[in-house]
Amino acid sequence: MSLQERQVPYGGGHSAVIAAAIRLVGREGLARLSFRTLAAEAGVSVGAVRHSFPTIDDVLRAALQDCLESYVASIDTITDIESLFRLTIAREDRSARFAFEVRVMLEAQHRPGLAEIATQYYDNFARVMRGLLSDSTLPADDAFLDFLSLVADGLIYQRVVFGSQDEQRLARWLAALRSVFSRFALPDPSGDSGSGAAPYREIPR
């Protein structure tokens, strides 16, 4: 059977094309994404791709939504702040998805459907971070959560520029975060330093 005649299995069309889009964009960038290259990556016909997704924007929205759901499932199991940052800015085990997410989210300002999904990344990061902060002496207000989102964005950009395998650089960033957190920490009302200095609880790690 030729590629032109081949179709994806019933019920598997969407997932096969989504997985191919994530691999292709993550590996080669958005400029290489077309119905032809997507069909070749997925091993199906162009007609099969168009049947599942009439436009390339439809592909990008579905693939970014798939990445979002995977990210949310991952962070919902996290129990400490450093792990949340590490998973958000590193994700070596999901390098293709990470590269896809960054490249596609940079297009969000030009594609309203992507912007809505991108907003959910920030909302879920803030939701989980707020819960992690609740037992610490760090602020958990909207302004501080916005600050942490901006920090994560900056670290993601550094990660993209300098590569995802530089563990030394990542360790330095996380150490810097711990130092910053110690300066933002509020006095622990249950503590008593005995010297007049404001006592602090250990920052969650």
User: What's the token pair of residue 77?
Assistant: 């199991």
Please, what is the angle between helix 13-28 and helix 56-75, to 10°? 90
Among candidate residues 32, 11, 8, 12, the one with its CA nearest the CA of residue 21: 32
Q: What's the pLDDT at 204?
A: 45
User: Which pTM value belongs to this model?
Assistant: 0.79
Rounded to the nearest 5°, which phi and psi values hold at 74? -70, -45
In whole angstroms, what is the distance from residue 25 CA to residue 182 CA?
39
Task: Return the CATH architecture of domain 1-54.
Answer: Orthogonal Bundle (1.10)
128 secondary structure, DSSP code = H
- Angstrom distance (rounded) from CA 44 to CA 42: 6
Instruction: Name the segment(s) of the chain with CATH classification 1.10.357.
Output: 60-184
The full length of the chain comes to 205
Which of 72, 73, 53, 54 minimizes the C-alpha distance to 63? 53
Q: What is the pLDDT of residue 9?
A: 43
Q: Assign 16 to helix, strand or coil.
A: helix
pLDDT confidence of residue 166: 67
Q: How confident is the model at residue 98, as a pLDDT?
A: 83
The position carrying tokens 């991108």 is 118
- According to the CATH classification, is domain 60-184 in 1.20.120? no
Domain with CATH 1.10.10 in the chain: 1-54
The CA-based dihedral angle spanning residues 147, 150, 152, 156, taken in that order and rounded to the nearest 10 degrees: -170
| Three-state SS at 20 | helix
State the 10-residue block means of pLDDT for the chain, 205 residues long.
39 82 93 95 93 94 94 92 84 72 89 90 93 83 89 82 70 85 68 39 42
